[in-house]
Structure 1
Amino acid sequence: MNSIKKNFIYNSIYQLLVIAMPLITTPYISRVLGANGIGVYSYSYSVSQYYVLFIMLGLNNYGNRTIASIRNDKKLLKENFWSIYFMQLFLGISVSLIYFIYCFSIARNTFAALIMSIYVISACFDINWFLFGMEMFKATVIRNTLIKVLTTACIFIFVRNAEDVYTYCLIMVMGIFLSQIALWPYIKKIVPFYFPSFSEIKVHIKPNLVLFLTVIAVSLYKIMDKIMLGMLSNTSQVGFYESAERIILIPTSLITSLGTVMLPRMTNMFATEKNSDKTKNLLYKSIVLAAFLSSSMAAGIMGVSKEFIPIFYGSGYEECINLFLILLPSCFFLGFGNVLRTQYLIPKKLDKIYVTSAFFGAVTNLIVNSLLIPKYFAVGAAVGTLLSEIVVCVYQSYMIRKKVELGKYIFTTVPFLVSSVVMFLIIYNFNSSDIRIIGLLFLKIVIGVLIYIITLLLQAFIYTRIRKISIKELIH
């Protein structure tokens, strides 16, 4: 098994764990804290995320890309790591001080905001960008897995009623803080301490700010929607939206995992190799995998949403059904776009296209949210998110249409989309009053899987007969 497969498995395991833990705790939390309690956490966390963004700037992409391109040179690795980190540390201290001013002067819920300060401070120690650039996914997964398990156990032990919302907030942010601190023992083994000059630090500021523009733009339709919901409606609507968004993370987490693994590999290949066939082949395989994961999982979850939501969340969360139907289709566009940007745009340093696409998505989201949230609340925010992902994906695809085999990639996704639509239409409209809701849920899952596989095979059979090729040639 090569390192790409290993890293994808390691990172996928962790991403699934990140999703699995909330899935385990959400049925409990939704009943104990209610939509309002979840909304308090979600709103406070969303605001604190903006401060974290100003600490990290574009480091998750820039730092990853920089380390990946020079990781074979120990001297450059040491100098670049410490010069980038000192920039991050300076920003962390400065932004943390500003956040405390916000807590005591502007915050709607001062106590919740103060708890979230732990999350803001934790960004000072976030070096995931370095470990990902070094392709050290195993170390991250093992340590973070233990912390996630501990966090989940604490939720069940200490969160007992609606008044424990602040305890819940504290547990969640302490888990993040410990995850960041736990990675530092690896640093001294790889890069000895080095005190960089200001000129060495300054080199990283401009390219970081360029990618930071993308981070800010993306945040407007990833984070701002919940803040706008809290301002234009109420915390219960934020709670509904947050609850639906957690489930949507299931298909997107695997796609994000793929992008995280492939970004340093593609960067290193573009920097050290001239064989474009390898990079084209990896890009094509990633498109196929992303199309399969995003379309099948999204359509499947949508198809069983009427049964899943009352079982999973309990009564009072029926509004999440509509949110599922609007938000989940965005997974396909997010998946396709994620592959293009993490495996082509960012490794090739085509930052202008990436930044512009993100701002188009942000503008779309802000306009739609402003028009729809006051009247349709969480549903309006969901529409804004869907349209934003479509705009971002379409723009990125259009801008690189002459640089990659875009027609081939789009054609590859069609069978997965067709199978997903057929599966969704059949299982969503399949009902039986003679079967209990839990039995109906499992029956729909089985039927959905069979329909998806059969539809894919039928399309493959028809295509091979028309083109007069074998199934083996088609897969290759």
Structure 2
Amino acid sequence: MLDKIASLAQKLSPGLRQVLSNMGWLFVSKVIELGLSLVVGIWVTRYLGPTQLGTLTYAMTFVGMFRFASLQALKSLVVRDIARSPTSKNETLGTTFALQFAGGLITLLAAVGTIYWLQPNEPLTHWLVGIIAAGTLFNAFNTIDFWFQSQIQSKYTVVARNSAYVFMAAIRIGLIQLQAPLITFAWARLAEMMLGTIGLVIVYQSRGNHIQAWRASWQRAKELLQEGWLLVAAGVAIYIYADIDQLMLGSMLADKSELGFYAATVKISRLLDFFPMVLASSILPKLTAIKEKSHEDYLDKLQVYFDISTLIWLAGAIPISLFSHYIVQILYGADFAAAGTLLSVYIWSQFNSCLGVARGTILTIERKLKFNLILTTMGAIVNLILNFLLIPKYGAMGATVATIITYLIVIILINFLIKELRFVGSLIINSMNLYAAISRIKKELQ
């Protein structure tokens, strides 16, 4: 068996082998995270219960409202630019680090100040928001990950981050055994980010790179912001149409348990997000290079990319929808039984992750980022309106229906209304022919 696998690998081009290797490392990383989430994360959820989970989720979602300032949206630009011009890496990395650290500080101050103003009599919420927001300062060190992604060498960041993740998973188990209060789990989240940062720095330095060589350039910062402001602005809209439902559930309904049920549903669904993210991060540099050489080959590769994305969506949505009540019962217990019906519906919204990430990759490669802002702004408006109308009457199920309708409009239907994006709509429709999609994938692997 191993001989056959080795023989097949030798038939692949060096570039494809590199992409598959990188995907393998990212896949292993996410499998480890998934495994621990299914054990430790679910254990924590059971321990906290619907109400405390809802409170923690509200704080995390509240901080997310300001996280756009941390400029994580610049990642695709940085990865692309380093892949194109490796000699400019120190200037690009140094500038990116400076921008993201400043953005993290703004996020921290804005989140803490706003929650004090809105809820002056909720000290626990104040602390939760402050601790979670402090973690955005460490996001600046994700710049190191951008470098490894540009070189298709994610295995190094996998080792660094997973070490921190595994260690803190053990700490969380200890907190449960000690019957620790809710706030300690927020501190554990911050500690995990700190340890992950230390690991990234060690790995980067050990590979012969030097953070001391980074240099921030005002000119480079202006270039990144001039092109990336569309991504940042789109990030605000993305938050509104992707996560505002949880913030509105926590704000519009006095009982935080409803948000707890919804959050548990979202947690299960988003466990599947790593598949399209792994695929996108591995394929972006190669698609960029292919486009420069052959437009026809580029379009063929895009179709296969969407074929794989559609199959990933269906492979997850169908079984989870059918067995949602059993899954919730097994994972979370009787206290979360109400989340079973929510999950059976919500899981179908995963086409947003699979097909949306694929479209985002195309927009980055083709420098059509302006459409990100247009699409997500429309989605944000639709989601706000639908949640405002549906949540008061239908609670978490209203938020679920609002999410699916919003994603359907933004990810699929809108492509056919914009001339420059009609080919994306065609890629999506073609990928729905599963027989043809599987045939194209098999041909690509031969």
Give the TM-score of the pair, scaled to structure 2: 0.86
Q: Which residue of 2 aligns with 1:363?
A: 381
* Equivalent residue in structure 2 for 1:232, among 247, 252, 255: 252
Matching of residue 184 in structure 1 with residue 188 in structure 2: no
Matching of residue 98 in structure 1 with residue 116 in structure 2: no
Q: Which residue of 1 aligns with 2:301?
A: 282
Q: Which protein is bigger by CA-based radius of gyration?
A: 1
* Equivalent residue in structure 2 for 1:249, among 262, 270, 273: 270
Change (3 A) 1:315 1:410: same
Name the CA distance, whole Å, in 2 between partners of 1:412 and 1:142: 34
* Equivalent residue in structure 1 for 2:24, among 9, 20, 31: 9
Change (3 A) 1:406 1:105: closer
Q: Which residue of 1 aligns with 2:336?
A: 317
3-state secondary structure, aligned to 1:349:
coil
Query: Which amino acid in the other structure matches residue 45 of structure 2?
Result: S
Q: Hey, which of these two has a bigger chunk of helix by percent? A: 2
User: Aligned-pair distance for 1:70?
Assistant: 1.9
Is the contact between residue 32 and residue 161 of structure 1 (CA under 8 Å) also seen in structure 2? no
User: Aligned-pair distance for 1:239?
Assistant: 1.1
Query: Which amino acid in the other structure matches residue 352 of structure 1?
Result: K
Is the contact between residue 14 and residue 141 of structure 1 (CA under 8 Å) also seen in structure 2? yes
Query: Which amino acid in the other structure matches residue 119 of structure 1?
Result: G
Is the contact between residue 353 and residue 396 of structure 1 (CA under 8 Å) also seen in structure 2? no
User: Aligned-pair distance for 1:166?
Assistant: 1.3
| Superposition pairs of residues 201-216 of structure 1, within 5 angstroms | 201-216=221-236
| Superposition pairs of residues 53-202 of structure 1, within 5 angstroms | 53-56=68-71, 58-71=73-86, 74=87, 76-102=88-114, 104-107=116-119, 108=122, 109-127=125-143, 128-160=145-177, 164-188=181-205, 189-190=208-209, 193-202=213-222
Is the contact between residue 340 and residue 396 of structure 1 (CA under 8 Å) also seen in structure 2? no
Change (3 A) 1:16 1:9: same
Name the CA distance, whole Å, in 1 between partners of 2:135 and 2:216: 27
Q: Which residue of 2 aligns with 1:433?
A: none
3-state secondary structure, aligned to 1:350:
coil
Change (3 A) 1:269 1:237: same
Change (3 A) 1:325 1:472: closer
What's the % identity of the aligned pairs? 19
Is the contact between residue 337 and residue 396 of structure 1 (CA under 8 Å) also seen in structure 2? no
Q: Which runs of 5+ in 1 are unaligned?
A: 416-458
3-state secondary structure, aligned to 1:135:
coil
* Equivalent residue in structure 2 for 1:300, among 319, 328, 340: 319
Partner deviation per Cα, 1:357-412 (whole Å, 9 max, x = no partner): 11121111111111111111111111121122211212563236777475465233
Partner deviation per Cα, 1:424-471 (whole Å, 9 max, x = no partner): xxxxxxxxxxxxxxxxxxxxxxxxxxxxxxxxxxx68xx99xxxx999
Change (3 A) 1:259 1:12: same
Query: Over aligned residues, Cα RMSD in angstroms?
Result: 2.9
Q: Which runs of 5+ in 2 are unaligned?
A: 1-8, 10-16
Name the CA distance, whole Å, in 2 between partners of 1:97 and 1:338: 30
Q: Which residue of 1 aligns with 2:284?
A: 263
User: Aligned-pair distance for 1:306?
Assistant: 2.1
Change (3 A) 1:66 1:29: same
User: Aligned-pair distance for 1:236?
Assistant: 1.0
* Equivalent residue in structure 2 for 1:338, among 357, 368, 376: 357
User: Aligned-pair distance for 1:52?
Assistant: 2.8
3-state secondary structure, aligned to 2:366:
coil
User: Aligned-pair distance for 1:41?
Assistant: 1.4
Query: Which amino acid in the other structure matches residue 166 of structure 1?
Result: I
Query: Which amino acid in the other structure matches residue 67 of structure 1?
Result: I
Name the CA distance, whole Å, in 1 between partners of 2:441 and 2:285: 33
User: Aligned-pair distance for 1:163?
Assistant: 5.3
Change (3 A) 1:231 1:66: same
Is the contact between residue 125 and residue 181 of structure 1 (CA under 8 Å) also seen in structure 2? no
Is the contact between residue 306 and residue 427 of structure 2 (CA under 8 Å) also seen in structure 1? no
Change (3 A) 1:345 1:42: same
Q: Which residue of 2 aligns with 1:431?
A: none
User: Aligned-pair distance for 1:220?
Assistant: 0.8
Change (3 A) 1:278 1:16: farther
